[in-house]
Amino acid sequence: MTKTFSPQATEIKAIFDRIAPIYDELNDRLSFGQHRIWKAMAVKWSEAKPGDNALDICCGSGDLALLLAKKVCQTGKVTGLDFACEQLAIATSRQMVKCPTVPMEWLEGDALALPFEDNQFDCATMGYGLRNVTNIPLCMKELHRVLKPQAKAAVLDFHRPSKALMQGFQQWYLANIVVPTAEDMGMKEEYAYINPSVERFPTGKEQVKLAQAEGFQQAVHYPLMGGMMGILVLTK
C-alpha cells in the first residue's frame, strides 16, 4: 500500500500489526469470552441478512466480518477493511477454516478514506475501531457515505461509565488486569494506550450527536456492562 498516514495513525497501525499474533487470545482472556456476545449483538443490530453486501470497518483479525458472513450466507458478500496487514493475514487464514463458502474480501485500507463508491452497503459493523481512528467525525461521514439509504450500522466500543463506582472499576480493571495480562504476553506498552483512549472517547450521547451531524437519520447508543461498553446503532 502506497498511502501515507499521519504519524499518529502510523503508530496505531504499527501497534495493531505488532499485537496481531496475540490479539485474539488476549481478547478472550481479558473479557472472559464476553466480547463474543457483544460482537454477536452488534451483528444482530446491523440487521445483516442473506444476500446483503456487508462491510466491517477496522476488521482486525475478522471476528465481526466472520459473524456477518454467517448472516449474509453464500448469496451475500462481506468486505473486511483494516490498515494493519498483519491483522488481515490472520483474518484471511481464519476465513479459510471458518467460512470458506461465503464470498469475503479483506482489504488493506483507511477507515477515513474508504475505497468504495457511495451507497454500496446494505449494513456495516465496526468493533473497537471508532476509538482508534484519528478523526471520528470523518470516519462517521465515510461510513454514512458508503451505506445505502436506510441501511444500518452497529458500532461497538468501550465506553466511559457515567457512575463514579463503575468508572473506578473500569480504571482499576484496565490498570490491574488488562495491562498486566498484556505484559505477561510481552505487550505492556501496546495495551497501555487503552485507558487514555477510553478517557478521550466521546460518550454515547456525544457519539449520537456526532452521528446526527454527519447525516444519520437515527442514532441510538446502547450501554452494555453498566456502561463500560456500548453499541451505537445508526440508520442512514
Residue numbers at the binding site for ligand SAM (CB under 6 A): 9, 12-13, 16, 58-60, 63-64, 82-84, 87, 110-112, 127-129, 132-133
Greatest Cα-to-Cα distance within the chain, rounded to the nearest angstrom: 47
**Type of residue numbered 9:** A
Q: 117-129 as b/e, with b when 16 or more CB fall inside 10 Å? A: eeebbbbbbbbbb
CB of 63 to ligand SAM, least distance (A): 5
Question: What is d(CA 60, CA 90) in angstroms, rounded to the nearest whole number?
Answer: 8
Angle (nearest 5°) at CA 194 between 191 and 197: 145
CB of 171 to ligand SAM, least distance (A): 19
Strand 218-224 vs strand 104-108: parallel, antiparallel, or unpaired?
unpaired
Q: Which residue has the cell 445508526?
A: 234
Q: Given the complex with ligand SAM, which of 83 and 216 has the nearer CB atom?
A: 83
CB of 96 to ligand SAM, least distance (A): 18
Q: Given the complex with ligand SAM, which of 14 and 217 has the nearer CB atom?
A: 14
CB of 62 to ligand SAM, least distance (A): 8
Question: What is d(CA 170, CA 207) in angstroms, rounded to the nearest whole number?
Answer: 20
Q: Given the complex with ligand SAM, which of 121 and 128 has the nearer CB atom?
A: 128
Q: Given the complex with ligand SAM, which of 72 and 136 has the nearer CB atom?
A: 136
| Residue closest to ligand SAM (Cβ) | 60
Q: Given the complex with ligand SAM, which of 32 and 149 has the nearer CB atom?
A: 32
